[in-house]
Amino acid sequence: MQMNPVRRGALVLAALGIALGTAAYASGASATTRSSSTPRAMSTLKVALVAPSATNDLAFTQSMYSALESLKSTENLQIAVSANEFVVSNAADIIEEYAHEGYNLIIAHGSQYGSTIESLAPKFPKVSFAWGTAGATFGMKNVFAYEASSNEGGYVQGYMAALLSKSKVLGICGPIATGDAKLYVDGFVAGAKAAATANKFTVTAHTVYTGSFSDDSLMASCAKTFVGDGADVLTGSSQSVVGAIGVAKSDKKLWFGTQWNQSSLAPHNVVASQVYNWAPILKQMFTEIRGGTLGDATYVIGLGNGGEKINFNPGYNLSASVKTEAQKLIAEITDGDITVPQ
């Protein structure tokens, strides 16, 4: 029985709509960009970055993307980026594709990619994989791991937060309790408690893990819950914090950022941000790879090696005494006089 032409046309339109939407999503959301630098005496290193969020997320992915871009010329890199790959199975296909294409280093920037790296790395022994934030290389010769001692900056910021809070109630919005997110949260809580002990007051640090790195609606709801609980200083980790920062701005609460400088999101509410700089450890990896070592090492960025920096927001009028305390803590952590608990 022949199909009604109108129905046939409708099916065609529906199929076109699906194709158009998929193509728009693919081209817009998961843009794979490649850029080359001018060849120099150093051999060109092909580096691919696979990340769960946008390269301009003002958080996790932006920190790694910016570090790579900053090294493009000096390290003679050819960089490919696949962003917004929050679906792990899709990311696995993309990582494998890069490996097939002969990329020298594939950076799987997200703790959720761990099992993917563990299964793919043995299939491509001549490709170097870097996985973070995590400490495990799975004992494989071609896997680097990298992580951030985000607990260090968290400690400093938690200390400041406790001093600045009038209600002495802090709200900490975590995504998932893993990797640098958990380290940061633990460090922040420890810093807040240290400030309370040193200054003889009581502080309450509410912590919630929303269960998602990307759900900024849930992060916003989390922040609202904390505000309802009396918190006047908030912090959080992951690319979904933009939702929580919006709440801090609208409810006139203070915010401490991590992973990237978040001052632009709330110029008068962000006190400071712990900014990651992955460039020093990336340079080490590139040197190792060029020397023939493809992995089996873990790199850590921290306040002491220039991989982390506390960026004080000039738009917020931070009291001199609190800033002095913070700078003193940074020096003590850098010198090893304080070991921040993990």
Partner 1 sequence: MSHFFTYAILTATVATALGLAAPFLLAALGETVGQRSGVINLGVDGIMLLSAFATYYTALQTGNLFFAILVGIGTGMVMGVVTAFISVTLKAEQGISGIGVYLFGLGFSDLLFIKLVGTPLPIATLNPINIPLLDRIPAVGGMFFKQTILVYLAFLLVPIVTFLLNRTTFGMKIRAAGENPAAADSVGVDVARIRWSAVLIGCTLAGLAGAALLLFDGIFQENLTQSEGFIAVALVYFGAWRPVGVMGGSVLYGAAIAVVLEWKSLGIIPLSASDLAATAPAVITILALLTVARRFRQPAALGKPYERGG
**Contact footprint for partner 1 (CB under 8 A):** 4, 6-7, 9-11, 13-15, 17-18, 20-29, 31, 54, 56-58, 84, 171, 176-177, 206-212, 214-218, 220-222, 224-230, 240, 242-243, 245-247, 249-250, 264-266
- Which helix (H) or strand (E) segment holds residue 205: the answer is strand 204-209
Considering only CA atoms, which of 214, 220, 133 is closest in space to residue 171?
A: 220
Q: How far is the CB of 218 from partner 1 (least distance, A)?
A: 7
**Closer of 216 and 325 to partner 1 (Cβ):** 216
Q: How far is the CB of 246 from partner 1 (least distance, A)?
A: 3
**Closer of 53 and 137 to partner 1 (Cβ):** 53
DSSP 201: -
Chain centre to alpha carbon of residue 216: 14
**Closer of 249 and 328 to partner 1 (Cβ):** 249
Q: How far is the CB of 85 from partner 1 (least distance, A)?
A: 12
Considering only CA atoms, which of 77, 78, 76, 54 is closest in space to residue 65?
A: 54
Burial tier of 234 (Cβ tally within 10 Å: 0-12, 13-18, 19+): buried
Q: How far is the CB of 242 from partner 1 (least distance, A)?
A: 5
CB 27: neighbour CB atoms within 10 A? 10
221: left (phi over 0), alpha (psi -120 to 50) or beta: alpha
Q: Which two tokens stand for residue 338?
A: 């304080």
Positive or negative: CA dihedral 240, 245, 251, 255: positive
**Closer of 135 and 211 to partner 1 (Cβ):** 211
Considering only CA atoms, which of 187, 75, 61 is closest in space to residue 112?
A: 61
**Closer of 42 and 177 to partner 1 (Cβ):** 177
Q: How far is the CB of 143 from partner 1 (least distance, A)?
A: 26
DSSP 75: T
CA distance 320 to 318: 6
Q: How far is the CB of 178 from partner 1 (least distance, A)?
A: 10
**Closer of 83 and 163 to partner 1 (Cβ):** 83
Q: How far is the CB of 150 from partner 1 (least distance, A)?
A: 17
**Closer of 11 and 331 to partner 1 (Cβ):** 11
